[in-house]
Amino acid sequence: MDKKGNAFLRTIGSFGRLVGSLFSFGKMKKPIDTLAEEAIMSPSKVIVKNFFRNKLAITGLIGFSIMLSVVFIGAALNPLTILSTNPIMRNTKPGLGYSKITSAAQNAGLVQISNGTTYGIGLGKDGDVYSWGQDVLGATKIPAEINALQIKKIASGDRHAIIMTQSGKVYGWGNNNFKQSTVPAEIEAVLMLENVVDILAGDQYSAIITDKNKIHVWGTTFATGLDIVPSRYQGRIVKAAQAPFNIILILDDGSIGIMGQPQTMLETSFPTQLANKEVTIVDAAVTVRTAVVVDTVGQVIVWGENEHGLLILPEGIQNEKIVSVEAGRSHFIALSASGKIFVWGSNDYKQLEIPEEVLGKKVTSIAANYYQTYVITEDGKSYGWGQDGYYLGTDDLGRDMLMRLIHGGRVTMTVGAVAVMISTTIGLLVGLISGFYGGWIDNILMRFTEVINSFPFLPMAITLSSFVGGVLTQTERLLLIMIILGVISWTGLARLVRGQILAEREKDFVLAARALGIRSNVIILRHILPNVINVVIVSMTLGYAGSLLTEAGLSFLGFGVIPPSPSWGNMLTGAQDSTVITFYWWRWILPAVAVLIAALTVNIIGDGLRDAMDPKNNEK
């Protein structure tokens, strides 16, 4: 090949190398290198760019932003009633599906339904018992021998269940702490002379009604007195409805009796037609302090406390002939002869929101207990709705852990943020003045800083809390914690800022500003402060994580936020109990993880900011 051809090939090769240098993996590189690009960018833009190059820092920022949004937006959208408790739902583990009837139960064609706190059981047409929901103390684990029996009726208590066979025998399973799922010897002796015709199950107790029109109760009855049946009722009972503290009795003459404690509200507010025995009662139901009955003509009569609007009957119910009623813990459901259902009372768990697939169908059977509602329609299908579970479980008082984590996080994060603002303000002010003026001012301020730094924080905070804790409100206690945290933790920042100022004040731009006669405060705020603000921001970020941990530690020890107000620290108090650690892991692991994630993400953000603001790191 001649010289012209070689020159042409060299030209082509050079062009190819140029193109290859401009393109990498199909993408054109910027013609300006990194140093040249940063040379034309402002320092703040360089910091932002360096920060967002750090994938770990971005992960921390996203994690902290999500947590912050959940805590503050969630708390605003879901107000927390501090004193609200629900002991019947205590120590419920995380999970959903309380009222979701299994396909096996649906296919069996349920004829009876009963439910406990977190589960339900149903009697199928095949005579077998089916269960669904979340198991608690074996309530959903039906013994194999049960389904070998000819079952006539089922009943669920809070965490146990009992059944009655066609021959009148009674069997139970589930929680047996008070022998409520086992027929005691004295009841067995009664059954030698009487036959069981009906069964009941309540909060840790069980009951039977015999063909002698007598009721017999066993289980935990010490506080309620349910085992003591008034003599004027015993021998006249044909039907009963259970509640946590009392039982409504339908007597053989169609009148109503009440047994158990407390009876006061239900007895003193007895409707006139019941007190005068003007109507004959065929069915009854009772919540905690409100009762409803149905007479022979289908009229509904309700009395007791009007909590949750239970005394306000739903529209149209008086135009229907009601044949049966059931009660949950805070709501009622009624069934008319035409197959319509009416629900009223509390809707905290959507127990009043009838599913669309039920509307328009004729209902043949109803059931309600605790916070769920069930119906069986004419086509043999069963439906359940109401409380469906807790995403993060409940604590020892039945309070929703998710809501307490959200509201507790708001307290913990707010305390940390305010404390950091206080400490940053003090530390920055002391550091700027001490470093800029020097001399005797510097000497006094640094000695004062050393004195403050020598105070043992935890002993002082605990001592103050012990002295004034009993006279302060919760808000005042929070304010005290924030002030203590802020006033004690500024010393490190003050020393750091002072060191930076000592270096900055000798630079030419400061000397030039002084020579121009610019006032000292202007030099400090407009010329020196912007050069040390990076250090302050990093210190604030890392200090915030420390404040979170300190507040959590104080509350854990009982000297910070006091229950029932939640904070992540006092929610961790349960971790001191071996029983909680062993059986109720969600009560201590969840707040611990929340504190860990919050502190970790903030520390990661602080490290990312420090790296982004470090000139030497930017050159790597």
The percentage of the chain sitting over the pLDDT mark of 90, rounded to a whole number, equals 47
Q: What is the reported pLDDT for 54?
A: 86
Q: Could you read off the pLDDT of 149-178 as tens digits, one per residue?
A: 899 999 999 999 999 999 889 999 999 999
Average pLDDT score, the chain: 85
Q: Could you read off the pLDDT of 470-506 as tens digits, one per residue?
A: 677 777 777 878 888 888 888 888 998 888 888 888 7
Q: What is the reported pLDDT for 470?
A: 65
Q: Could you read off the pLDDT of 441-453 as tens digits, one per residue?
A: 889 999 999 888 8
Give every strand in the sheet of 246-251, ordered side by side: 237-242, 246-251, 256-260
Q: What is the reported pLDDT for 476?
A: 77
Helix axes 491-504, 401-437, angle to 10 degrees: 40
- Pick from 557, 540, 566: which is nearest to 409 by CA? 566
Q: Could you read off the pLDDT of 179-213 as tens digits, one per residue?
A: 999 999 999 998 889 999 999 999 999 999 999 99
Chain centroid to CA 518: how far? 57
- For 135-140, what is the mean pLDDT? 91
Q: What is the reported pLDDT for 19?
A: 42
Predicted model pTM: 0.81
254: left (phi over 0), alpha (psi -120 to 50) or beta: left
Q: Which residue has the higher pLDDT, 154 or 545?
A: 154
Q: What is the reported pLDDT for 9?
A: 45
- For 356-373, what is the mean pLDDT? 94
Q: How far is Cα 65 from Cα 72, in angstroms, rounded to an integer?
A: 11
Q: Which residue has the higher pLDDT, 546 or 134?
A: 134
Q: Where in the chain are the domains? A: 406-561+587-614
The percentage of the chain sitting over the pLDDT mark of 70, rounded to a whole number, equals 90
Query: Who's near 236: CB < 8 A, 6+ residues apart?
Result: 213, 251, 252, 253, 257
The region of weakest confidence among 33-47, 420-434, 542-556 is 33-47
CATH, domain 406-561+587-614, list 3.40.50.2300, 3.90.79.10, 1.10.3720.10, 3.40.50.410: 1.10.3720.10
Q: How far is Cα 362 from Cα 583, in angstroms, rounded to an integer?
A: 44
Query: Who's near 596: CB < 8 A, 6+ residues apart?
Result: none
Query: Who's near 619: CB < 8 A, 6+ residues apart?
Result: none
- Band of pLDDT at residue 526, cut at 50, 70 and 90: confident
- For 384-397, what is the mean pLDDT? 93
Q: What is the reported pLDDT for 123?
A: 95
Q: What is the reported pLDDT for 15?
A: 47
Say yes or no to pLDDT of 328 above 80: yes
- For 52-74, what is the mean pLDDT? 91
Say yes or no to pLDDT of 439 above 90: no
Say yes or no to pLDDT of 33 above 60: no
The region of weakest confidence among 120-129, 151-160, 609-618 is 609-618
- Band of pLDDT at residue 8, cut at 50, 70 and 90: very low
- For 586-605, what is the mean pLDDT? 91
Task: Count how many residues are written for the chain.
Answer: 620
Q: What is the reported pLDDT for 4?
A: 47
- Pick from 527, 535, 442, 524: which is nearest to 497 by CA? 535
